[in-house]
Structure 1
Amino acid sequence: MNDKVLETLEYGKIKEQLTKFLATDRGNEIVGQLTPSASVDQVNQRLAQTTDGADIVRLKGEIPIPKLTEISPYMKRLRIENASLGGTELAQITKLLRAVQVVSDFFADLQEEDVALKVLPQIVNRLTLLPDVTRRMLSSIDDDGRVLDGASSELRAIRKSISATQGNIRSRMGKFIKGSDAKYLSEPIITVRDGRFVLPIKAEYKQRFGGIIHDQSASGQTLYVEPNTVVEMNNQLRRDQLAERAEVRRILGELTNLIRPHRDDLLANMDLIGQLDFVNAKAKLAHQTGSIEPKVSADNVVKLRQARHPLIPRDKVVANDIEIGDQYHAIIVTGPNTGGKTITIKTVGLLELMAQSGLFITANEGSQIGVFDDIFADIGDEQSIEANLSTFSSHMDNIISILNQVSQNSLVLLDELGAGTDPKEGAALAMAIIDAFHKIGCELIATTHYPELKAFAYNRPGIINASMEFDVDTLQPTYRFLLGIPGQSNALNIVSKLGMSKQIVDQARAFTDTENQDINNMIEELTAQTKRAHDEADELNTQLQQAAKLHSELQDKFTKYENQKDRLTEQAKERANQVVEEAKKQADQIIADLHEKQAKVGQVAVKENELIDAKGALNKLETAPNLTRNKVLKKEKTKHDFHPGDDVLVKSYGQQGTLLRRDKNHTWDVQIGILKMQIEESDLEKAAKNTKEKNQYQTHVSRTRSAGMSPTLDLRGHRYEEAMTEVDRYIDSALLAGYPSVTIIHGKGTGALRKGVTEYLKRNPRVKSFGYSAPNSGGDGSTVVKLK
């Protein structure tokens, strides 16, 4: 694809939109190198990737890819023998290793959920998992590149010694700050000079303190003195710090050697994660802009349904239907300027560039694109000062260049063809140029304001007229594309509307030849008919959409009704079978008693077949199919006939509440004590009238609920909105379960979840206090919440 058309149609701005959704350096590199493809197979492959990404965005939000820095420079350094990477560099590699594991697990979960994907699993299957290396790196390096205590037992011991020594030094020096010697200090603080703990002492009292002077203030009034009592402890601290530094260097070298054999695998993983990041970006852009996957025509038949220019806001852009490549291969768009002709042909060209790059396009479902070997465009003011060319000459220079490169599989877009010269000659030249492109067999869309081209297009097979609609009443263009109708000359109508003298307008009409007047009248009639057809089509389309929406809602409600009906029926059958089972047991007992009495008393024997017949009749009750008059079923239905104000039992919590209002998707707002919660209708049951029975049932359910509820909520991997909803429900459940405190695990990551949890807990009046977990229990990756 030639670079000039990419610049002319502002393809670079589409790539800028993509970069906003990228998380990795490699993804940015892929977008930077992105160009449209002329291969049908490659275009289909690219679009299939975007389709998979769009399905994931719709179902899961996105593929979980963190921000990743390019690791290629680090891998080059690993080729140097004995070269060692720093903590920050190893941290970036660790992030990649963790991302590979997370992405692999994510797609494994999708496979278990039977989410059908076309091509992305092929990329994921090429990822190389390094579980042992990943575990070692995660336990040794944090996200900031700091070597963790768990990297080695020696490092843990050294740091424990450092911490203890620092505590002893501060404790010893704290006596100077709080004791009688505090008056000799410039400030009651402990500070550090040259890596050693010192006190800021007033210069005139230096004789009162033994020790080593390490520094003095700029004024000379303060001396920074290391007291004799802490000199040896400072020495020990220094020795430990040097030992720590040496151990950290050793560990970094060990970790470097650990990943050195996997250089190629890491580079390949980086590239694959970058590709998935690119797919993520394409899918998110499509979701944001309301774009769709186009069909691909190997014959270059373009059919765009309600196509919109992707760089114009949706609330301002006018959508149009555009077709080319089937019954006609050239469209001549005539009419006055400022009507939207240029935007229309730019829309066609830019959507083609996007689709051939594997991006979804801003159009309606059912749209189709071609796969052109090249797209050429001559659009805008091409005046070249450097080449000393006029606008006309510059345009002609571009068109000559296009004619020398174009093929029958190309798309050509020409704006204001033949403009900038004598109208007669310009029109003749425009017709000759159109004929030349038409003979080559390429697809051509050209705009012009020359009226002579209207008849030219009408008389040529494979060429069709088109225009942009203009509202004479408002004197404003509507920017609607009218295929098959040439542009109408509105000059006389416009000046008449503006108040020009009728005598002047009539004289101007008299100067216009009869043929032109007839053509204008015909165009006016065609335009009016087309407008009526468009308006009726729009109205029918609106009605169809409303009908489809209503049908979808009714289908959804019917499905839910069927599911609920079957569930209630099954519950009623189970209850009925329980009753029958009890009756059978009683019948068996009666039969046994009869046999026993018969044996003891010696009465006339009860006929065995009569007993068996009676028992068989009881057995038939268990599988009786007709439950229309079954009292158990009626009772179950009554339990689920809900109305606002009803007292209900929330089965999962074992608590009573009052129904407030019904929400969508079969959920109710329920007031439970001081809490208002959203509860699924299936989890509700009308409260029993007998208080005693009601309390017994509540006690039983509550015991089951609290026993199964975890005191820990893990939000890692959740999206922000989903996580906040989960926190709200969890705190309510914990309060009902009577937990004095719970732990919420949000991870460190970007900090968004941690901040969201903190803001929520501040607002909740039922939270007594909260704070981060202890360092050995997750630190600021989890929050402990105490409840009132």
Structure 2
Amino acid sequence: MIAQRALRTLEYYKIIDEVAKYCTSSIGKSHMDKLVPSVDFAVVTKLLEEMDEGLNVLRLRGNVPMGGITDIRPHAKRAQIGGMLSPVELMETASTIRASRILRQFLEDVDASEDVQIPHFLEKKEALPILTALEHEINDCIDENGTVLDSASSTLRSIRQQLRQQISRVREKLDSYTRGANASKMLSDTIITIRNDRYVIPVKSEYRSHYGGIIHDQSSSGQTLFIEPSAVVQLNNDIREFKVKEQEEIDRILIMLTAEVEIVAHDIFLLVNILGEMDVILAKARYGQVEKCTMPSINEHGYIRLVKARHPLISPEDAVTNTIEFGKDITSIVITGPNTGGKTVTLKTVGLCTLMAQSGIPIPVLDGSEVAMFESVFADIGDEQSIEQSLSTFSSHMVNIVDILKRYNDRSLILFDELGAGTDPQEGAALAISILDAVHGTGARVMATTHYPELKAYGYNRPGVVNASVEFDIETLSPTYKLLIGVPGRSNAFEISERLGLPNSIISQAQSYTGTDRGEVNSMIASLEDSRRKAEKEAEETEVQLAEARLVKEDLDKKLAQLELKQEQLEQKAKEKAKKIVDDARREADEVISELRKMQANTHLLVKEHELIDAKKRLEAALPMNPVLKKQKKLNELSKELKSGDEVKVLSFGQKGTLLDKLAKSVWSVQIGMIKMKIDEADLEYTKPEKQKQTVSVNAVRGRDTHVKLELDLRGERYEDAIIRTEKYLDDAILANFPRISIIHGKGTGVLRQAIQQLLKSHSRVKSYRFGEGGEGGHGVTIVELK
């Protein structure tokens, strides 16, 4: 257990008071007052993990519902010993149970969201007793203001109803007095008031006999008497009786509810304790958020690494941060230098951060920090002169040091401030060296401050010890409070005196008295300080460059990931598009075969199976091929020189035709169906002539295009293109011997519809035409009967 003296010396309880401000209940504050650093590694690890869970929950959710919690343990204790709880006490009990229920639901929601892992919080949630039944019983009888409700029992409702009726009768009777003809004359005021829990009226003293009854009070002047008229005495007595009955029924209800509390008293003790623990955990987390603290890792090897640490009781705006590391190869640090430089603050920072971490409190350091687990922490800091014991400053320090030397071990952290001070400098320095040798030799972790020059070389000839100092700015004549590990402190007396105007002759003479060795040591220290500053500057520049490189790398990684994702999306899209094209082509082929089979069945004519298979093969040949092969094939076809009789495709119309004659250098006469047109060669594409097909002995497939559909869709087509496609389609349908076809032209403005029907009207093979029926497309479709 950590000694109380060290806790007081390092101002641990001030930290506890700061953290306690973030508790939301008296229970949490009570738990916080009892919080002391643990020396059990497993316990400390759990405390830090719980606090870190609290930090994560606050970071993600902003707050945790902990309102409405009261320390109801005294209420449960009173119920156990046979006392009757008041309505307010019962209301507080229900409120606390409700708060635990809300907290339980909140933690379940956090766990379900999977935003953060909270195993310790869930463990406490499972341990919370469920007392919802008691909460509902209390809420059914008592409202949030601590008033027993009429609905608490049918008897209470009946009594209160009669009581209200009786009060109404009394007021009506007294109102007749205040509204009477002589009221303004005999009454001091026309109001009804209450004295001694009875309804009365204010009567002027000279008219007291007019009303009779009982005098309950009088004004300070004696001019007004508060009289209960004889006519309402019995009515007031009845009210009194009803109130007595009301109170008896209320007491019965309270006794019944108290008995319910007594049954679950032990669960209430457990519930309150768990809520207090969670309040403390969240208070630590809120403190960490506000003070910009982090959770350190913890070890059992005595290793301390505090990154950019500051004293917890100094505001972040005023504090100077230092990185402190020791405990592996270096187990002792000796800080030398002048007073008021920040040596003591450094000691307290290390000690206080250690105590806070062992209490599960986040510490004011940056991420990557680590603290050691110590069985004991000792601190000899400050002027502890005891007048009562007639002890000098030196004696007081020495008494404390003697006690430390009796109790420390290799798992102790020892902090000495101004070791050996308060006595002869030579003897004090010798004692300081001897004490440091004693504790350092046992493996304890030691930090000591001193202003003795003899200790400046202490760390150079002892393994595991390093010298340090706090920086002093000669230009401003003030300390910077920065800790310099590996650089001993040097005296700045001569430099300061010179800047303050002390004559150079006096300074030179003083320097001659100090000796050569002292001057060489100071020169060496000055050289070390210069080297350190240079190294720090280079480290800062390197850190900036490294940060820039990290940003560039992150940006490149992000862009690469986006590029890979886009590539995957494009590949997937291309695959889906290709699959759709293939599926559509195969589906159309299957439809053609199906239509041929139906025609065979309907016409009772024979269509040979090999002809059907050949038709499907021709359709499959139209399926999309590999883009590379398709491109190569197209290049081969384009390279062929066009000549009369070649079959070509007119690209702008999308129609096939036959070359007749070359009219000019790049203009051909092309036969498209029954129309001859002049087409530029750039608009023509050579198509491989189809093999001559044998005529099938079925009228339904006698044409050259056996895959002609029974409908033509012209929606979205230009006027000229639509006319050309309609003429071509009529030819194909006639060759296929279709008796009826459908032309889909849409409704639109009607121009295309009129043009199509005009064409049909003049066509020799059109028997008749009409608009489609309701199920055929209406006026957007023309049904054509062919001859």
**TM-score if structure 1 supplies the norm length?**
0.70
- 8 Å CA contact retained: 1:177, 1:188: yes
Provide the residue aligned with 1:10 in structure 2: 11
The answer as to 2:337 corresponding to 1:335 is yes
Q: 2:437 aligns with which of 435, 444, 464?
A: 435
Q: Which residue of 2 aligns with 1:655?
A: none
Q: Deviations over 1:641-675 (max 9, x none)?
A: xxxxxxxxxxxxxxxxxxxxxxxxxxxxxxxxxxx
Please state whether the residue corresponding to 2:419 is helix, strand or coil.
Answer: coil
What is the Cα-based RMSD across aligned positions, in Å? Answer: 4.2
Residue 590 of structure 1: how far off its partner (Å)? 13
Instruction: Indicate the residue corresponding to 1:294 in structure 2.
Output: 296
Larger mean CA deviation between 539-548 and 36-45 belongs to: 539-548
8 A contact 1:53–1:62 mirrored in 2: no
Give 2:667's aligned residue: none
Q: Does 1:76 align with 2:74?
A: no
Q: For residues 117-156 of structure 1, what are the structure 2 equivalents within 5 Å?
A: 117-156=118-157
Matched, 1:421 2:414: no
Counterpart mapping for 1:427-576 below 5 A = 427-538=429-540, 541=543
- For residues 616 and 222 of structure 2, the distance between their equivalents in structure 1, rounded to whole angstroms, comes to 115
Deviates most, 274-283 or 307-316: 274-283
Could you tell me how far apart the structure 2 residues matched to 1:100 and 1:619 are? 69
Deviations 1:726-770 (A, max 9, x none): xxxxxxxxxxxxxxxxxxxxxxxxxxxxxxxxxxxxxxxxxxxxx
1:90 and 2:93 correspond: no
Task: State the shift of 1:22 in Å.
Answer: 1.8
C-alpha deviation, 1:141, in angstroms: 2.4
**Over residues 189-220 of structure 1, what are the superposed CA-to-partner deviations in whole Å (9 max), with x where a residue is unaligned?**
22111222222122223344355433322332
| SS of alignment partner, residue 500 of structure 1 | coil
The 3 A distance-change label for structure 1 pair 154 and 558 is farther
8 Å CA contact retained: 2:76, 2:261: no
Distance in 1 (alpha carbons) for counterparts of 2:620 and 2:207: 110
For 1:159-213, what per-residue CA distance to the aligned partner results, in whole angstroms no more than 9, with x for missing partners?
Answer: 3343444445445544544554441321232211122222212222334435543
CA, structure 1 residues 603+55, in 2 after alignment: closer, same or farther (shift >3 Å)?
same
- 1:199 aligned to 198, 201, 224, which one? 201
Give the deviation of 1:236 after TM superposition.
3.7
Residue 46 of structure 2 is aligned to residue 45 of structure 1: yes
Letter in 2 for 1:534: E
Deviation at 1:585, TM superposition (A): 14
The alpha-carbon distance between structure 1 residues 608 and 472, as it changes in their structure 2 partners (threshold 3 A), is farther
2:397 maps to a residue whose letter is: H
1:106 corresponds in structure 2 to 106
Matches within 5 A, 1:87-486: 87-114=87-114, 115-178=116-179, 180-184=181-185, 185-209=187-211, 211-227=213-229, 230-486=232-488
The aligned residue for residue 747 of structure 2 is none
Letter aligned with residue 388 of structure 1: S
SS in 2 for 1:311: coil
Q: Which range is displaced more, 478-487 or 25-34?
A: 25-34
SS at match of 1:466: strand
Q: Which amino acid aligns with 1:282?
A: K
Report the secondary structure of 1:440's partner residue. Answer: coil
The one-letter amino acid paired with 1:95 is S
The answer (yes or no) to whether the contact 2:310–2:365 under 8 Å persists in 1 is yes
Write the deviation string for residues 121-145 of structure 1: whole angstroms up to 9, x where unpaired.
Answer: 2222111112222210122223443
Displacement of 1:502 after TM fit? 2.1
Distance 1:162 1:410, change over 3 A: same
- 2:22 corresponding residue in structure 1: 21
**Counterparts of 1:382-781 in structure 2 under 5 Å?**
382-538=384-540, 541=543
Give, in angstroms, the shift of residue 386 of structure 1: 1.4
Cα offsets for 1:507-555 (capped at 9, x unmatched): 3233332222222122112112222333444455567678878999999
User: Are the equivalent residues in 1 in contact too, given 2:458–2:467 (CA < 8 A)?
Assistant: no
Helix, strand or coil: the match of 1:473? coil
User: Mean Cα displacement is larger for which, 372-381 or 96-105?
Assistant: 96-105
Cα displacement (A) at 1:376 = 0.7
Question: CA 1:217 to 1:603, structure 2 compared with 1: closer, same or farther past 3 Å?
Answer: farther
Task: Give, in whole Å, the separation in 1 of the partners of 2:229 and 2:597.
Answer: 105
Q: CA deviation at 1:396?
A: 1.5
Superposed CA deviations along residues 326-367 of structure 1, whole A, max 9, x for unmatched, are: 111110101111110000011000110111111111101011
Alignment-mate amino acid for residue 382 of structure 1: E
Closer, same or farther in 2 for the Cα pair 1:527/1:230, shift >3 Å?
A: same
Q: Confirm or deny: 8 A CA contact 1:62 1:280 kept in the other structure.
A: no
Q: Residue 659 of structure 1 corresponds to which residue in structure 2?
A: none
Indicate conservation of the 8 Å contact 2:340/2:479, yes or no. Answer: yes
Give the aligned residue type for 1:250.
R
Q: Any idea what SS the aligned residue of 1:38 has?
A: coil
- Alignment check: 8 A CA contact 2:469 2:485 kept: yes
Contact kept? 2:39, 2:358, Cα under 8 Å: yes
Letter in 1 for 2:107: F
Secondary structure at 2:432 match in 1: helix
Q: Secondary structure, in 3 states, of the residue corresponding to 2:441?
A: helix
How far has the Cα of 1:305 moved from its partner? 0.5
Mapped to 2, the partners of 1:204 and 1:38 lie a distance apart of: 84
State whether structure 2 residue 55 is matched by structure 1 residue 54.
yes
8 A Cα contact 2:107 2:121, kept in partner: no
Measure the CA separation in 1 of the matches of 2:113 and 2:377: 42
Cα offsets for 1:451-487 (capped at 9, x unmatched): 1111122111010000001111111111001101111
Q: Which moved more, 1:243-252 or 1:488-497?
A: 488-497
| C-alpha contact 2:141 2:152 (8 A) present in aligned 1 | yes
Question: How many residues in Structure 1 have an aligned counterpart in Structure 2?
Answer: 619
Distance 1:593 1:481, change over 3 A: same
Counterpart AA for 1:77: R
Unmatched runs of 5 consecutive residues or more in structure 1: 621-788
| Unaligned segments of structure 2, at least 5 residues | 625-787
Post-superposition Cα deviations, 1:383-415, rounded to whole Å, max 9, x if no partner, equal 121121211121112111111111111011001
SS in 1 for 2:318: coil
Once the 2 structures are TM-superposed, how far is the Cα of residue 297 of structure 1 from its aligned partner?
Answer: 1.1
Other structure's SS at 1:480 match: strand
TM-score by length of 2: 0.70
2:474 is aligned with what amino acid? V
Q: Provide runs of 4+ in structure 1 moved above 6 Å.
A: 542-567, 584-605, 607-620
Correspondence for 2:779: none
Q: Is the 8 A contact 2:45 2:298 kept in 1?
A: yes
Q: What SS is found at the alignment partner of 2:194?
A: strand
The whole-number CA distance in structure 1 between the counterparts of 2:244 and 2:568 is: 73
